[in-house]
Structure 1
Amino acid sequence: MRISTSQMYSQSTSLMTKLTAQADKAQTQIATTKLGVTAVTDAAAYVKLQQITQATTADATYKSNINVASSVLAQTDQTLESVETQLQRALELATRAANDTLSDSDRAAIGEELSAIRDTLYGLANTKDDIRGQPLFGGVTGDSAYVKNDDGSISFAGTGEPSAIPVADGESIQPSISGQRVFTTDQADMFAIIGDLADALKSGTDVKAAAGTALTGINASLDQVTLARATIGARGARLDLKSEQMTAVAETRETMRSGIEDTDIASATIELQKALTVLSATQSTFTKLTSLSLFNYLK
């Protein structure tokens, strides 16, 4: 039987080329820690990786939005806590103002402090968030939430409720609250309540009646602030839950991605060693065969 020399060369060369390609592929997968999935090598896996990448990118945006919203909510709550502190002091002063034994100078001093509290509340009502520079309580528009009018009164200058921030597909949250639900509502206007009592104390006009009205109004204002803080707290808790859910989904998604795309180093190393071993043996055999005379193949 005559064995074709060209056939022997062709088969050996083809095998060595294949083994070399296998070794190179394994080495690349080990070095890059990636399997190198493409639309050609594995169309289904490639499409899945694209979907995972898109979802991860979207979540990164939502995660950033959650961080912004959480920060603004925290600042809103801190500001409302300061408002509560001012109102509680105003309540103490209003209680003292109702005391008939106070002198005119005492009442005037209380009136001055109440005026200062009103100014402080005005400043708090115009607080801007540290991240976006927007009024915390200004609704959707305007540079200031509240303005002082020519007659000295204070009124809301914003519009509606604050714009919501997207935190997931089809889900958004308001990071602050309108001042109309905190400082001035149909039930109470804390600026007017405190201002009227301050004016009455300074002028000495019907202080007892003014103090009684103020006590009712300040308590109502405190109730408003408490409700506002509860609303902000609930939104913060919702964001915390959303963040935890997003983290869990991200971990699951990363596990899926790794299973599709990442190299199993141990397995790849074994495949590399096998390919190199067979390649070495094939090269050795090929060298020996090619060194023989053509007559060694004839029988």
Structure 2
Amino acid sequence: MTIGINQFFNTAASQLSSLSAQADAINNQISTGKKISAPSQDVVAYNRLAQIKQANADNTTYGSNISLAKSLLQQSDTTLTAVTTQLQRAAELTTQAANGTLSDANRKTIAIELQSIRDDLVNLAGTTDARGQPLFGAATGTTAVTQAADGSVSFGGTGEVPAIPVGDGTDIRATDSAQRVFGGLPNGSGGTTDIFAVLSTYISALNAGGTATATAASGTAATAIQAALNQASDVQGSVGARAARLDIVSTQASDAANARDVDRSALEDTDVSTAIISLQKTISILQATQASLTKLGQLSLFDYLR
């Protein structure tokens, strides 16, 4: 009988300990709002939660990149609109200067405005973004364009800036180099030039005087300026397409984040109502077990021998 009594009390003590631990665990779930706090509670769920946490961290980084890319694309679009406006005015002035009835003084006046347009284009090419970096910077170099003491303009680097990662396996080039926007224009000799050189050469021709010279120079300049307009328009169209794609990526990232949060909540969040009922049930069993054990413990050996 001694062995039986010892086994009984050992079993009861184990049950009390287990019930107390269950009550503490449920109470902790209610207070923290989390069902899982350690791998031992549910290895599969804990690992899945770790994956979700990592995915959310990656999404935060991608979200910052998306915001940056959107900002750069918007600034590029605005700046390219200003570039197009300047080029359109240059094209109008070229048509005016080709008029054979103009005097040299008239053409010099046109040259002055063209010089202002050229300066504005140089300034637009050197636009900096919110980070203080050149908006039209290249893969190499620290400036988009540089202007020498004699007024000549050259590109500060070569190559396109690497695309920005905005999702798993997805990246978007948020900016274009100054070379792509302002350079690469055919020069009529099989080579290429840039709009700054085109305008400089044309301005010099207008200042030199002479109807024949001005007319010939106007024709050459008009062709190059139209090519520059077409190129700026193409780049701006590409910017718009990339911005539209970025909106899609952003929406997809948001939808994926919402889906992950649903999964996380199902795995991790405590159903408080259900947990309270479970806690009350566990406490009731615990109290009943304690009461039974106390009552049995008060029995004497003579009670067993009756």
Please, which of 256, 263, 288 is the counterpart of residue 256 of structure 1? 263
2:118/2:196 contact within 8 Å kept? yes
Partner Cα distance (1:117, 1:262) in 2: 63
Matched to 1:125, the amino acid is A
Partner of 1:163: 162
CA contact (8 A) 1:3 1:297 kept: no
Measure the CA separation in 2 of the matches of 1:276 and 1:263: 18
Question: Does the CA contact (< 8 Å) of 2:36 and 2:42 recur in 1?
Answer: no
Contact 1:90 1:218 in 2 (8 A): yes
Alignment match, 1:194: 199
Is 1:77 aligned with 2:84? no
- Report the CA distance between 1:50 and its aligned residue: 2.0
Partner of 2:136: 137
Q: Tell me the number of residue pairs that the alignment of Structure 1 and Structure 2 aligns.
A: 298
Equivalent of residue 217 in structure 2, options 210, 213, 238: 210
1:106 aligns to what?
A: 106
Contact 2:94 2:222 (8 Å CA) reproduced: yes
Residue 48 of structure 1 is matched in structure 2 by: 48
SS at match of 1:40: helix
Equivalent residues of 1:77, 1:232 under 8 A apart: yes
The offset of 1:189, in angstroms, is 2.2
The offset of 1:201, in angstroms, is 2.7
> Partner amino acid for 2:153?
I
Q: Deviation per CA, 1:237-286: give whole Å up to 9, x if none.
A: 22211111111111222222222222121211111111122223333333
Closer, same or farther in 2 for the Cα pair 1:64/1:271, shift >3 Å? same
**Superposed, which structure 2 residues align to 1:288-299 within 5 Å?**
288-299=295-306
8 Å contact from structure 2 (residues 158, 179) kept in 1 = no
Structure 2: distance between partners of 1:109 and 1:297: 124
State the percentage of identical aligned residues: 48
SS in 2 for 1:166: strand
Where 1:138 maps in the other structure, the secondary structure is: coil
The verdict on how the C-alpha distance between 1:297 and 1:105 changes in structure 2, with shifts beyond 3 A counting, is farther
Gaps of 5+ in 1: none
Q: Once the two structures are superposed, what CA deviation does each residue of 1:198-223 show, in whole Å capped at 9, x if it has no partner?
A: 22333323222222222222111110
Question: Aligned letter for 2:167?
Answer: A
Separation (CA, whole Å) in 1 of partners of 2:304 and 2:203 = 119
Report what 1:284 is aligned to. Answer: 291
Following superposition, the deviation at residue 111 of structure 1 comes to: 1.0
TM-aligned CA distance change 1:137 to 1:2, over 3 Å = closer
1:84-123 superposed matches below 5 A? 84-123=84-123
- 8 Å CA contact 1:2–1:298 kept in 2: the answer is no
For 1:157 and 1:76, locate their aligned partners in 2 and report how far apart those are by CA, in whole Å. 18
Aligned residues of 1:2 and 1:297 also touching (Cα < 8 A): no
CA offset digits 1:177-208 (Å, max 9, x no partner)? 12222111142521122223322333323222
Residue in 2 that maps onto 1:67: 67
For the aligned residue pairs, the C-alpha RMSD in angstroms reads: 2.3
**Alpha-carbon deviation of 1:142?**
1.1
- Which residue does 2:236 correspond to in 1? 229
Alpha-carbon distance, 1:7 to partner? 4.5
- Structure-2 change in CA distance of 1:186 and 1:200 (3 Å): closer
1:91 maps to a residue whose letter is A
Instruction: Name the TM-score, length of structure 2 as normaliser.
Output: 0.88
In structure 2, stretches of 5+ residues that fail to align are 187-192
Q: Which moved more, 1:72-81 or 1:274-283?
A: 274-283
In the other structure, the counterpart of 1:173 is: 172
Q: State the TM-score, normalized to the length of structure 1.
A: 0.89
CA contact (8 A) 2:185 2:224 kept: no
Aligned to 2:251: 244
Distance 2:256 2:305 in 1: 68
1:46 & 1:4 partners in 2: Cα distance?
Answer: 42
Secondary structure of 1:192 counterpart:
helix
